[in-house]
A and B are shown apart, each in its own frame.
Chain A
Amino acid sequence: MSLVDHLPVLVVIIPLMAGPLCVLVERPLAAWGLALAAAWLSFAAAVALAAQVNGTGVISYELGGWAPPWGIEYRIDTLGSYVLLIVTGIAALVMVAAKESVASEVPEAKVARFYAALMLAFAGLVGIVATGDAFNVFVFLEISSLASYALISMGRDRRALTSAFDYLVMGTIGATFILIGIGFLYMMTGTLNMQDLAARLPEVWDTRTVRAGFAFLTVGIGLKLAMFPLHLWLPNAYTYAPSVVTAFLAATATKVAVYVLLRFMLDIFGIDFALGRMPFEYILLPVGVIGILSASLVAIYQVEVKRLLAYSSIAQIGYMLLGIGLASTTGVTGAILHLFNHALMKGALFLALAAIAYRLRSTSLQDLTGLGRRMPWTMFAIVIGGLSLIGVPATVGFVSKWYLVLAALEQGLWPVALLILLGSLLAVVYVWKLVEAAYLTEPRDDVAVQEAPLSMLIPLWVLVIANVYFGVNTEVSVGLARQAAAVLTGGAG
């Protein structure tokens, strides 16, 4: 076997190995270099995988040569390769910006361990997507979650400790629920392989155990993806974590959780079970809509920009849930597309905040005054990211909104379409709070602030340009999302 055949596992192994190595080398700069190299290698592997999936179809990789369903199978399909691209791409960009930001926010003695934890979190997320084994999902979920708790607790503010603890409690409950759910499925089918599960489940659809397993999984995954009203851990965790961690997690962790939801509900259980026999859409639609509106309203009243964007993230997750709940190819396309698009927006916005935190040591709204003149590039990036969040045409946000509104109208649910647009209007309000603070107030005289270093600006602007590029040329993003959605919904309209 050549190296190329091992790509599905390499994409996970590289960061997993880089983690312990970071601790061994100990020197901050070397640890950063290792992490950077691992992230980019992993990204390269993901690109190669995506090309391979696009060319030859689903890739199945037998771990240790044991054939599934006995051995563990790694399975990369269109959806998987799409999410892998997002996660590794964001990780690679965030790593570039991490050097300066981490040096300023994390004590030097901890830096190497910080990168080790970041690599483990990254490896866990990639693993969840790459694996084709339900129990493996749980294992990788725990790897990434435990590493995330550690990462969040390294924030400068002491409140980082309590928010990490909150997340630990909520996250563990979520993970336990997922484990129980998987256990129930195993009990009924005797298999953990996803394909095998999907094949065997219809026979036992009508048992209470399977239904209970479905419920446990829904709630467990809901906790992980901060589905309203299970989102309480998220704002604090995003606010007090080191800036780089926020950028990384916001753009990847919740996306992977959405992926897990899609995988379990639509692929393993299948759309007939989830939406036909279980009232899944009656949960997702209201939860999505209420999430969008309530979180956007709360975001409007925030004075800490990181927290504002954290609430906005909860609202954006609402859009994805809504898309899945609409239960059509268009709706799921919208959800998958928004998964990609939201990663671009929030990645850009939180990286910009990292740049601001680097210069100002604060990201509260009142400290943003007059920053449009002091840090023109960073602030303009926030403006474009914000416009994308609103869904202004020629940005990626517009494309996702288009599909979600179209999906709602296809089902004749025009009130839902109106509510989606109302969510955009609320976004206008909270985005414009930032714009007014940065551009329409006089700069404060007491602090001398200059533009962020290039190592942060370049990854930031790569994401910003991606926001516009994929808003105009959607061949790749929409094409892949549509393909994946068609598979998940069985091509049903």
Chain B
Amino acid sequence: MSKYVPIPSNRMLLERDVGKEPVLETHHLGIDFGGLTAVDDFELTIGKTEIAGLIGPNGAGKTTVFNLLTKVYHPTRGTILLNGKETTGMDTAAINRAGIARTFQNIRLFGAQTVEDNVKIGLHMHMKTNIWSDIFRLPSYWREEKKAQETALELLSIFDMQDLAKHQAGSLPYGAQRRLEIVRALATKPCLLLLDEPAAGMNPSETAELMDIIRKIRDDFHIAVLLIEHDMNLVMGICEGIVVLNYGKIIAKGTPEEIQSNPVVIEAYLGKKEEA
């Protein structure tokens, strides 16, 4: 018998992976900055191995939602459940170890370090080493280092970037830096990957390639992806469920088809039709 999981449209979707619980659930999530409510009553459910989209006009609060999910901001209200577990009290680093990884709208790589080291930093936090074996280069250090090296190259090969491993991250072209951010996030072994405008600055053919890669990541790593994107071809092309945010509130949820024909969404994006 096939299993179903809820998607942002609150309908059920055929689950590709085993397991009943959604990877992420938020209930009444909200944050105020002073008197300003930036996000309010944010309800979202993401199934395991689902690709979900978060869209909305500029300033709608999309990145704020990412910051709430990763505890860069602490929510004023509401709860976040990651794999069914409450995340109250966790800080950003703990959230990452619990399974959420993200990329940034403005690239934030460790620019002075090599491509390989950027990926390895992600890997290292999930590796067992002790400081003495590291300093004295005991066999266990070399074993771990070799494993990290192999894993790093393997991850880089997703984007065909293994040849760039020894380059300085900050010297890579823009598109490659964006891809490296995704690789670095994957290195922390997430179960939910948050992508903040992954296609920003990419041309249509690069975007098409990125869409294939996001699908491939989902299939190979069996993880869920939540992405913020302004490129509607990408969002409509790969997302199974979409949430539309405006002024910090969810104005629509649904499948790409439902969102495209939703009058509220069209109004939010294009403005109200003038009475003739």
On whether the two chains bind one another, the answer is: no
Residues of A within 8 A of B (CB): none
